[in-house]
């Protein structure tokens, strides 16, 4: 579980990537506030999100609802993404691309005068190379 912290990006996301555990992001605005390398890493495809309000009302029920919705094949696909993109999130990974991603983000920001655009969310744009993993329902093939 990765509750919202005092910064847009939480260490819990990196810990989950390192251990290949599916992060459950507890936040109403995690993607609007920013996740690391939003345009380069499909965090939405490798995490689950639950609203803060649902957790406050009934944490157990909210988490059970997530487990009921997300099947085993989907969880396996999420773990695949976590393993594949760990090098984009973890500095100490043998084939880390974090430094490259920092530079790519800097270029993107400079082209937008230091702004992320209309909204802060930047969709991951390279899902085509991984589309064979997912059917229309979002399950692992």
C-alpha span between 9 and 25 (Å, rounded): 11
Contact by Cβ (8 Å): 52, 30: no
C-alpha span between 62 and 60 (Å, rounded): 6
Confidence label for 134 from pLDDT (cuts 50, 70 and 90):
very low
Mean pLDDT of 57-62: 94
Mean pLDDT of 43-57: 90
Classify each residue of 56-70 as buried b or exposed e, where b means 16 or more C-beta atoms within 10 Å of its C-beta: eeeeeebbeeeeeeb
pTM of the model: 0.71
C-alpha span between 51 and 3 (Å, rounded): 10
Contact by Cβ (8 Å): 25, 89: no
Domain residue ranges of the chain, discontinuous segments joined by + = 2-133
C-alpha span between 5 and 134 (Å, rounded): 31
């Amino acid at each position: 579980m990765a509750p919202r912290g005092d910064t847009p990006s939480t260490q819990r996301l990196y810990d989950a990537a390192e251990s290949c555990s599916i992060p459950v992001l507890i936040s109403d605005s995690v993607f609007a506030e920013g996740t690391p390398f939003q345009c380069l890493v499909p965090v939405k495809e490798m995490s689950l999100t639950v609203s803060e309000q649902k957790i406050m009302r009934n944490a157990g029920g909210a988490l059970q609802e997530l487990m009921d919705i997300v099947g085993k094949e989907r969880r396996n696909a999420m773990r695949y993404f976590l393993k594949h993109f760990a090098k984009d999130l973890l500095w100490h990974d043998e084939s880390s691309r974090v430094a490259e991603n920092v530079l790519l983000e800097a270029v993107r920001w400079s082209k937008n005068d230091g702004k992320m655009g209309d909204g802060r969310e930047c969709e991951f744009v390279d899902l085509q190379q991984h589309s064979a993993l997912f059917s229309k329902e979002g399950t692992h093939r």
